Amino acid sequence: MPPPLALFTGRPAFAEPLHVGRPNLGDRQCFLRRIEEMLDRRWFTNDGPLVREFEQRVADFVGVRHCVAMCNATVALEITARAMGLKGEVIVPSYTFVATAHALQWQEVTPVFCDIDPQTHNLDPDRVASLITPRTTGIIGVHLWGRWCAVDALGEFAERRGLTLLFDAAHAFGCTDHGRSLGRFGAAEVFSFHATKFVHSFEGGAVTTDDGPLADKLRLMRNFGFSGYDKVIYLGTNGKMSEAAAAMGLTSLENAGRLVTVNRRRYTSYAEQLGELAGLRLIDYDPEEQNNYQYIVVEVDARQAGLTRDELVEVLHAENVRARRYFYPGCHRMEPYRSYFPHAHLLLPNTEAVAARVFLLPTGETISAADIAAVGRVLRAALDHSPEVKAQLATRPHPERAPAGVS
């Protein structure tokens, strides 16, 4: 009998693909009513009533004075970095979505990659000091998977050294640090409301801050710098959120309480499935903190599991489970950074190791407990038959596998 895996039988566990990041919907009727009202109003963008309502609700939720909604988090990061006068070099983790680095490089600010703490997957505050040069103007921390990034240590350090501190909170809506909502730290924080996020507006982002003059500046900059009909007082761009996006954002925000319950249940089901599998570990979310449980993040110990992360991902893809290797291979191994800093990996051992052993599994409204049980069965079968799986995969060329030895 061949192992019960599509790799051998040709019959995938799922007829349709299971995606990581499948959007959650919220109340469809409520969304459609908002769209109908928007059409009747004929006000589709440029600081419309839905965007204003969304901003107010996000600010209240996070507990900040100001929220400035934007078309996406990448542009929001770019505008915020520019508004804060970041130039020269800015310290960022490499283990993040490439947008964190691109938002700086796009305006010719050099991202300097700092290694992460392998436990938290977040920037290691003890390594930041050694990367400071006379050109350093700021730090951008990332709350990866909604787990808080050393906000207090980085805050104290930035203040002492006169650096601007921002946070990329793309993953962190609805998450806390010691009971304090993420989105309230540093000079400003940036959320993503992309379709794949916990709360989403199809495409969207927002900056949250308690700094009134900064919020005013961000509003001008996202609207070409206009301060009146014919008056431009800053260099600006177009970073506005549309009314249709805000309609989805509001509907999604209203669904957040229900979704976190669903996500948490999925996380618990995965924990039960993976708990018995040697070599696979689901990352923890501190039970004392709030998390949105939007990310099912698995770490593979290849020696114990008998298979590498990449081999397991291939097994899952054959079953139509589109597991993702976020954030492999790390920004420092992507262009243009790879060419600019060809030796960056030497200073990023934890980034390299974590990026080689992590994969993400699908969750959310569209995934059922039965789906998770089936994913568990696939993983169990793969580990039970690891020598056969390894031999079978070796017959298939796969140029994208992580280099041997890094996992």
CA distance 236 to 213: 16
Least distance from C-beta 367 to ligand T4K, angstroms?
12
Tell me which residues in 296-325 interact with ligand T4K (CB under 6 A).
Answer: 322
Residue-level length of the chain: 407
Taking CB under 6 A as the rule, which mask of x and - marks residues 21-50 in contact with ligand T4K? xxx---------------------------
Contact positions with ligand T4K (CB under 6 A) in 135-174: 142, 168, 170-171
Peptide bond into 329 cis (omega under 30): yes
Tell me the site size for ligand T4K, rule CB under 6 A. Answer: 23
Q: Which two tokens stand for residue 369?
A: 């407990």
362, 20 Cβ separation under 8 angstroms? yes
Distances (CA, A) of 31 to 67, 251, 271: 22, 6, 33
Per-residue binding letters, 48-77, with ligand T4K (x by CB under 6 A):
------------------------xxx---
Q: Please say which residue, 142 or 358, places its beta carbon nearer to ligand T4K.
A: 142
Considering only 31, 54, 95, 97, the residue that binds ligand T4K (CB under 6 A) is: 97
CB atoms closer than 10 angstroms to residue 24: 22
Q: Which is nearer to ligand T4K, 194 or 217 (CB)?
A: 194
Measured from the CB atom, is 19 or 87 closer to ligand T4K?
A: 19
For 233-244, the DSSP string reads: -S---B-PPPHH
Among the listed residues 50, 58, 68, 99, the single contact to ligand T4K using CB under 6 A: 99
What percent of the chain is helix, strand and coil (3-state, nearest 5)?
45, 15, 40
- Tell which one of 24, 80, 100, 209 touches ligand T4K (CB under 6 A): 100
- Considering only 13, 20, 296, 375, the residue that binds ligand T4K (CB under 6 A) is 20
Cα dihedral 388/394/395/400 (nearest 10): 140
Binders in 167-196 for ligand T4K, by CB under 6 A = 168, 170-171, 192, 194-196
How far is residue 180 from each of residues 63, 134, 288, 313, 390, measured CA to CA in Å?
9, 33, 11, 36, 46
Kindly state the smallest distance separating residue 372's Cβ from ligand T4K, in Å: 17
Residue 327: is the preceding peptide bond cis (ω within 30°)?
A: yes
Binding site for ligand T4K (CB under 6 A): 19-23, 72-74, 96-97, 99-100, 142, 168, 170-171, 192, 194-196, 205, 322, 326
